[in-house]
Amino acid sequence: MTAVSVKRPPAPPAAKPRRRSRDVFQATPLTFVMLLATVVLSIFPLYYMIVVATREQGATSSVPPPLIPGSSLGDNIGRLLDNQNAAFMTGMVNSAIISLTLTVSVVFLSTLAGFAFAKLRFRGRNALMLSILVTMMVPAQLGVVPLYMMMAKLQWANHLPSVIIPFLVNGFGVFMMRQYVSQSVPDELIEAARVDGCNTFRIYWSVVLPALRPAIAVLALFTFMAQWNEFFWASLAMGDPSNPTVQISLQHLSTGYYNDYAQVFAGTLLSILPLLAAFILFGRQIIGGIMEGALKA
Amino acid sequence: MSLPTTTPAHSAELPPPPGRAPRSPSSFLVRASKWSRLDTKASPYIYIAPFFVIFGIFGLFPLIYTGYVALNDWEVGADTHTFVGLDNFVKILSDNYFWNAVFNTIGIFVVSTIPQLLLALMLANALNKRMRGRMWLRMGVLVPNITSVAAVAILFSQLFARDFGLINWLLHFVGVSPIDWQAHKWTAWLAISTMVDWRWMGYNALIYLAAMQSIPKDIYESAALDGASSRRQFWSITVPMLRPTIIFTVIISTIGGFQLYAEPLLFTGGASAFLGGTLRQSQTVTMYLMEQFYNKFEYGDMAAVAWLLFFLILVFSGVNYLITARLESSGKKRGGKK
């Protein structure tokens, strides 16, 4: 490849390299069609979910399977909400409380700690930061048994504190915010605020937080989605069918009512609505967050 | 991961806050400066304290304690427990069902991850091209990742249902008679892998895409001048340049794959859900872990399985790291020689 630059003619026409670069990165029609097919395959299962959720009970037990939405969504949701065994509404409300509380708390505590690690001087800073990174490597399953025993002892099992208190802040959030603060808040800005007589919390609140807005949006979205989808710990800590999270309610629904797919799918459809709403409103930020995270890792 | 050791150094050289000492004559200012000294000294610790308190109680303590629990015969709900040394580990390691679960977990991991990452690479390559509606296409492939775990598992269990599932219906057009996907190891693995891949392919593609965009474009231009086809460019430029990212996704997939739980659990359904079917066709290690709780009421065995799972994750992350690094470097050599 190195020979190329030597052999290149001395004065190539100015327009040529540009056109070539366009050729290299221009999508062929085949690429475009394949991409469209991928998108269709990505979306079709969700479309099918809508189809089943809107058809009458038992429509799935027909050949050919239904492929066009029906008009029974209201009936199906009605049966779902009357279903005492799945406690679906309780699950939705519980999950909303858990996800929103944890989103606020993770964002607040992560930005606070991230700011301290990025901009404040104190003894043991590097060692403490390193210890946070080490904690991120250990899988959640390892500590699950003693954690559950603690919840049982504190009488938190099957109540909201068991899925909220242990997760108020996590290493990932602190690390992400530390990276973001050190990149996007100049030291001069903090010094200037100090000269103006701001105390440290005031600096955090009025200087650092506003500069962090894009990163906060990403962390908030990821935290909300992760908590709304949390399954493993909730299946243990919120296993009581009368007080589930939304995912656990879906589990009870799917194991107990597999012959009424219309009702089950009405449940899955309602359960993804908050996520779809977040995606429609903040899709760009979510994509930006995933891609930026990939570059920093 | 090397960031924490390098970045703090430069920001530590701040000048001392100016203008405070000379202004001290009035008593108000003396008091204020005392406060501000306390503020600068204590604030950092107050700000990081919540993390360390929460993590210490609900993270670190369970991690250490789990080692102790694993060495005891400890039943769920019992007041007493007896120290039994490594007996729990011996018991688990001589249980064929444990090894069956390990086999299933590795099997599902291989069947799902290899095609997933290969397809994600190709998808990212396609998304990297210039075309109309790029943002819409990116959002489109990410949609599966937004849906919740339980919803995906329930949805695909229906699609893979034996009697009225859409997939069997489509297969009958090409002359395949209805498959009972849950009943056999291979078909169950395939169905579970499909759910996992559907949910994570777009996500991994976006991670690759981000890395692809940071490859300098002139490398491709000079390769094109050399007459390299776009397929050749993909394998000889893109893939080697993405090496750290590919290793990253392989490790992340290993960690996620070995903790696979909700998908096989909901796919199995019914009374034998934790067993992964009557013949344990699709019981993963995490399901085996939970079986010790729900069916055997054994904290000690659960903790032992948790340790073994952690060990498996470490070993396989290492093995996969070595394999990926090898594949990549041999690919690079071959590309460079010609």
All structural domains of chain B, each given as residue ranges with its CATH number in brackets, are: 18-70 (no CATH), 89-337 (1.10.3720.10)
Preceding omega of A241 cis (within 30 degrees of 0): no
Beta carbons within 8 Å of A37's beta carbon, 6+ residues apart: none
In a domain, A226, yes or no: yes
Closest-CA residue of chain B to A151: B58
DSSP type of residue B153: H
- Residue pair A246/A271 in contact (Cβ under 8 Å)? The answer is yes
- Same domain membership, residue A117 and residue A31: no
Which of A225, A241, A256 is the endpoint of a domain? A256
For B234-267, give one letter per residue: b (16+ CB within 10 A) or e. eebbbbbbbbebbbbbbbbbbebbbbbbbbbbbb
Considering only CA atoms, give the Rg of chain A: 26
Residue B122: which residues within 8 A CB-CB, separation 6 or more?
Answer: none
CA angle B280, B285, B290 (to 5 degrees): 85
Residue pLDDT, tens place only, B171-228: 989 888 888 998 899 999 999 999 999 999 999 999 999 999 888 888 888 888 888 8
What per-residue confidence (pLDDT) applies to B152?
92
According to DSSP, the residues that pair with B75 across neighbouring strands are B298
pTM of the complete model:
0.84
Among A189, A143, A32, A82, residue whose Cα is nearest residue B126: A32
In a domain, A174, yes or no: yes
* Residue A132: inside a domain: yes
Q: How far apart are CA B296 and CA B91, in angstroms?
A: 13
Q: What is the pLDDT of residue B92?
A: 94
**Chain A residues touching B3 at Cβ < 8 A:** 179
- Contact assignment for B54 to A166 by CB distance below 8 Å: yes
Nearest CB neighbour to A48, from listed B166, B270, B286 = B166
Of A109, A143, A182, which has the smallest distance from its Cβ to B51's Cβ?
A109
Contacts of A268 in chain B (CB under 8 A): 148, 150-151, 154-155
Q: Is residue A63 part of a domain?
A: yes
Of the CA atoms within 13 Å of residue A221, those in its CB half-sphere come to 23
Instruction: Give strand pairing partners of B82.
Output: B73
Rounded to whole angstroms, how far apart are CA atoms B50 and B54? 6
Q: Measured in whole angstroms, how far is the alpha carbon of residue A161 from the centre of its chain?
A: 21
**Residue B299 contacts residue B190 (beta carbons within 8 Å):** no
- The partner residue sitting opposite A139, judged by closest CB among B1, B137, B259, is B259
Same domain (yes/no): A38, A112: no
- Give the separation between CA A18 and CA B112, rounded to whole angstroms: 41
Is B131 in contact with A32 (Cβ distance < 8 A)?
yes
Q: Say which of A27, A141, A279 has its CB closest to residue B146.
A: A279
Q: A-contacting residues of B 216-245, CB under 8 Å? A: 217, 220-226, 230, 233, 245
Contact B248 A194 (CB under 8 A): no
B148 chain-A contacts, CB cut-off 8 A: 228-229, 246-247, 250, 268, 271-272, 275
B137: contact with A, CB 8 A cutoff: yes
Report the alpha-carbon distance of residue B234 to residue B239 in Å, rounded.
6
User: Among all chains, which residue has been given the structure tokens 């250490």?
Assistant: B64
B128 lies within 8 A of chain A by CB:
yes
- The distance from CA B122 to its chain's CA centroid, rounded to whole angstroms, is 21
- DSSP secondary structure, A39-53, as one string: HHHHHHHHHHHHHHH
Phi and psi angles of residue A87, each rounded to the nearest 5 degrees, phi first: 45, 50
Residue A48 shares a structural domain with residue A161: no
| Contact residues, chain B, for A269 at CB < 8 Å | 151
Q: Out of A52, A113, A284, whose CB is closest to B47?
A: A113
Both ends of chain A: CA-CA distance in Å? 30
Helix (H) or strand (E) holding B72: strand B72-73
8 Å CB contact of B221 and A52: no
A167 shares its domain with A245: yes
Name residue, tokens 């392989």.
B250
| Contact list, A191 vs chain B (CB under 8 Å) | 14-15, 17
Question: Do the domain assignments include residue A282?
Answer: no
Structure confidence at residue B1 (pLDDT): 37
- Whether A147 has its CB under 8 Å from any CB of chain B: the answer is yes
Shortest Cα–Cα distance, B325 to chain A (Å): 17
Dump the DSSP string for A3-55.
HHHHHS-SS--THHHHHHHHHHHBPPHHHHHHHHHHHHHHHHHHHHHHHHHHS
Q: Is residue A240 part of a domain?
A: yes
Confidence at residue B335, expressed as pLDDT on a 0 to 100 scale: 46
- Indicate whether A194 and A59 sit together in one domain: no
For CA atoms A293, A297, B4, B5, the dihedral sign is: negative
Looking at the complex, report in whole angstroms how far the Cα of residue A281 sits from the nearest Cα belonging to chain B: 12
The span from the CA of B168 to the CA of B179, in Å, is: 7
Q: Does A59 share its domain with A143?
A: no
CB contact under 8 A, B159 and A268: no
Print the domain residue range for A233: 85-256
A199 touches chain B (CB under 8 A): yes
Which tokens is B329 given? 């470097």
Residue A48 belongs to a domain: yes
Contacts of B147 in chain A (CB under 8 A): 46, 272, 275
Predicted local distance difference test score (pLDDT) of residue B330: 61
> At B75, phi and psi to the nearest 5?
-90, 150
CB < 8 Å to A290, chain B: 142, 203, 206-207, 210
Taking the C-alpha atoms of residue B292 and residue A198, their distance in angstroms, rounded to an integer, is: 56
How would you write the pLDDT of chain A (297 residues) with one tens digit per residue?
333 344 444 444 444 444 444 566 777 888 889 999 999 999 999 999 999 999 988 777 777 778 889 888 999 999 999 888 889 999 999 999 999 999 999 999 999 999 999 999 999 999 999 988 888 777 777 889 999 999 999 999 999 999 999 999 999 999 999 989 998 899 999 999 988 888 999 999 999 999 998 899 989 999 999 999 999 999 999 988 899 999 999 998 888 766 788 999 999 999 999 999 999 898 888 888 888 776 654
Q: Smallest CA–CA separation between B326 and chain A, in Å?
A: 21
Same domain flag for A65 and A210: no
The alpha carbon of residue B332 is apart from the nearest alpha carbon of chain A, in Å, by 14
* Number of cross-chain residue pairs from A and B with Cβ atoms under 8 Å apart: 328
Q: Are the C-beta atoms of residues A28 and A21 closer than 8 Å to each other?
A: no
Q: What is the CATH number of the domain that holds A178?
A: 1.10.3720.10
ipTM field: 0.84
SS3 B138: helix
| A44 and A183 co-located in one domain | no
Query: Among partner residues A20, A119, A251, which is closest to B224 by beta-carbon distance?
Result: A20
Which pLDDT score, from 0 to 100, does residue B333 have?
Answer: 53
What are the distances in angstroms from CA A110 to CA A116, A162, A200, B47? Answer: 10, 20, 16, 9
Q: Which residue of B has its CA nearest to A5?
A: B222
Token match 């899925």: residue?
A163
φ, ψ for residue B73, nearest 5 deg: -85, 105
> Are A96 and A61 in the same domain?
no
A213 and A137, same structural domain?
Answer: yes
Residue of A nearest to B258 (CA): A139
Run means of pLDDT, 10 residues per run, chain B, 338 residues: 40 45 52 79 93 92 91 84 90 95 96 94 91 87 89 91 87 88 91 95 93 88 87 88 89 90 89 84 93 88 93 90 76 46
